[in-house]
Chains A and B, each alone.
Chain A
Amino acid sequence: RSRTSPTSRPLFLSPPFIEASLVEGSFKKFVVLPKYVDEDEWLAVNVFEFFNYLNMFYGTVTDFCTAMNCSTMSAGPGFEPYTWTDQNQKKSTKLPAPTYIDYVMTMVQNLINDENVFPTKAGREFPKDFQQTVRLIFKQCFRVFAHIYYHHYEQLLHLREEKHFNSLFAHFISFAKEFSLLPDKKELAPLEELISYMESKGRIC
Chain B
Amino acid sequence: GFGGKGGQEYVNFERSTEGFSKGTLDRSTAARLKLEHFYKVTLDQARERNERRTELEKKLEKEDCSGERKNRQLQSLGRKESSFLRLRRTRLGLEDFVTVKVIGKGAFGEVRLVQKADTGKIYAMKTLRKADMFKKDQLAHVKAERDVLAESDSPWVVQLFYSFQDTSYLYLIMEFLPGGDLMTMLIKYDTFSEDVTRFYIAECVLAIEAIHKLNFIHRDIKPDNILIDKDGHIKLSDFGLSTGFHRTHDSAYYQRLLDGTLNSGGGHRQLGSEANINLTLSSKDRIATWKKNRRALAYSTVGTPDYIAPEIFLQQGYGQECDWWSLGAIMFECLVGYPPFCSENAHETYRKIINWRDQLYFPDDVHLSPEAEDIIRRLICAPEQRLGRHGGEEIKAHPFFTGVDWDTIRNIEAPFVPNLKSITDTSYFPTEDLEKIPEQPQTTERINTNVTGEYNQKDLAFVGYTYKRFDELTRKNAL
Enumerate chain A interface residues (CB-CB to B < 8 A). Answer: 1, 4-7, 11, 14-18, 22-23, 29-30, 34-38, 41-42, 44-45, 48-49, 52-53, 55-63, 101-102, 105, 109, 112, 118-122, 154-155, 157-161, 164, 167-168
Contact = CB atoms under 8 A, between A and B. Distances in A.
Given A5-B11, A29-B46, A45-B89, A37 B31 contact: no
A15 B11 contact: yes
Given A34-B53, A45-B85, A105-B451, A14 B42 contact: no
Given A36-B78, A56-B34, A59-B31, A7 B9 contact: yes
Contacts of A5: 11, 13
A59 B118 contact: no
Nearest to A38: B82
A37 B35 contact: no
A105 B15 CA distance: 29
Contacts of A55: 449-451
A36 B119 contact: no
A142 B36 CA distance: 21
Interface of B: 1, 5-6, 8-17, 19-21, 23-25, 27-28, 30-32, 34-36, 38-39, 42-43, 46, 49-50, 53, 74-75, 77-79, 81-83, 85-86, 88-90, 118-119, 449-453
Contacts of A38: 78-79, 82
A34 B46 contact: yes
A63 B20 contact: yes
A16 B11 contact: yes
Contacts of A60: 24, 27-28, 31
B91 to A, nearest CB: 8
A124 to B, nearest CB: 9
Contacts of A36: 53, 74-75, 77-78, 81
A109 B83 CA distance: 21
A197 to B, nearest CB: 10
B90 A158 contact: no
A1, A38, A59, A119 — most chain B CB neighbours (10 Å): A59
Nearest to A13: B8
A36 B70 CA distance: 12
A145 to B, nearest CB: 14
A58 B451 CA distance: 7
A44 B89 contact: yes
Given A36-B53, A161-B28, A23 B39 contact: yes
Nearest to B85: A45
20 contacts: A5-B13, A6-B1, A14-B8, A15-B9, A18-B8, A34-B50, A35-B53, A37-B81, A41-B85, A42-B82, A44-B86, A59-B27, A60-B27, A62-B451, A62-B452, A155-B20, A158-B16, A159-B25, A161-B28, A164-B32
B15 A118 contact: no
